[in-house]
Amino acid sequence: MILVSGATGGIGGEICRLLGQAGVPFKAMCRKPEQVEHFKGEGVEAVLGDFDRPETLDGVMEGCDRLFLITPPTPDQVEQEKAAIDAAKRAGVARIVKISASDGNIRSTVPWAKSHALIDHYLRDAGIGWTILKPTAFMQNFFWFKDPIAKGFLPQIAGKGSVSWVDTRDVARVAAKVLTEDGHNHATYFLTGPETLDMKEAASRLSKVTKHKVRYLDLPNPIFKAILRLTGNSRWMANGLVAQFSDVVAGHHDIDPTFEIKRLTGVAPRSFTDFVRDHRDAFVRSN
């Protein structure tokens, strides 16, 4: 039995879909009763568990031999994942498949990159089986800017820096594969898309697919940060995103394509053009 956390999120939701399609037994972990009811209504076994309430985790992990572990980027991420790892160990889970980040580094100025590095170290040392997936930046991050993109602008602070963008559907495909196969214990996989694109090229692909001109606006950091704050991001998140794009991306510290997705699943990852084509409507309609 596999326990899938983050079942209501992008990667976790896609894993549930893939496991369901393959007829693999799994339980979807959610933190709200209405989410559990929604899954049950779809014929999916679902359980209530909250990483902020470790007392809820022992019961949900009982009888599970694999755990898909994902948490959103927040200041509580390290504590949440440590609590999950401890509970999994108590429940006798054999292996955890964890979503980490390709730029994980305990000296990073990016808060979630530092958190993932700390959690990766904790997990490797926990005396439980593990597989660590380290994706680069998600193509789905472009949804953050769908309204300005629909108006013809891609606001960023990445200079000429580039990213080997990966589609979360491909990350989920790898996760579903390594959750259901042996031979991945104590393995760390760096997951990327098939090519490395800077923001100018990303804007050009958006223009081609949507058939309206999208210009990359390379903004000063304070203006980008103000936009993030005005669109509802916390100060912590806004500072982190500024560090992510101006230190890591503009500083040319993203990784090259690794081709691991094709090697692990037999199917090549989606290109950025594929991603935009699949979500064309989101980038042409402004709210």
Ligand X SMILES: NC(=O)c1ccc[n+]([C@@H]2O[C@H](COP(=O)([O-])OP(=O)(O)OC[C@H]3O[C@@H](n4cnc5c(N)ncnc54)[C@H](OP(=O)(O)O)[C@@H]3O)[C@@H](O)[C@H]2O)c1
Residues making contact with ligand X (CB under 6 A): 5-6, 8-12, 31-32, 50-52, 70-73, 80, 99, 101, 112, 135, 137-138, 141
Instruction: Count Cα neighbours of 239 within 13 Å in the Cβ-side half-sphere.
Output: 10
Minimum distance from residue 262 beta carbon to ligand X (Å): 19
Task: Considering the complex, state which of residue 12 and residue 193 has its C-beta at the smaller distance from ligand X.
Answer: 12
Looking at the chain, how many residues does it have? 287
Task: Considering the complex, state which of residue 50 and residue 58 has its C-beta at the smaller distance from ligand X.
Answer: 50
Q: Secondary structure of the chain: what % helix, strand, coil (to 5)?
A: 50, 15, 35
Using CA atoms, how far residue 93 sits from 23, 27, 127, 287, in Å, is 21, 14, 11, 45
Task: Considering the complex, state which of residue 11 and residue 85 has its C-beta at the smaller distance from ligand X.
Answer: 11
Which residue, judged by CB position, is nearest to ligand X in the bound state? Answer: 9
Minimum distance from residue 166 beta carbon to ligand X (Å): 8
Instruction: Count Cα neighbours of 244 within 13 Å in the Cβ-side half-sphere.
Output: 23
Minimum distance from residue 251 beta carbon to ligand X (Å): 16
Minimum distance from residue 139 beta carbon to ligand X (Å): 9
Task: Considering the complex, state which of residue 33 and residue 213 has its C-beta at the smaller distance from ligand X.
Answer: 33
Minimum distance from residue 47 beta carbon to ligand X (Å): 11
Residue type, 50: D
Task: Considering the complex, state which of residue 65 and residue 76 has its C-beta at the smaller distance from ligand X.
Answer: 76
Six token digits for residue 76: 């509580």
Minimum distance from residue 200 beta carbon to ligand X (Å): 19
* Beta partners for residue 147, in sequence order: none
Angle at 16 between CA 180 and CA 38, to 5 degrees: 150
Task: Considering the complex, state which of residue 71 and residue 108 has its C-beta at the smaller distance from ligand X.
Answer: 71
| CA dist., res. 107 & res. 19, Å (int) | 36
Closest to 124 in 3D by CA, of 88, 85, 91: 85
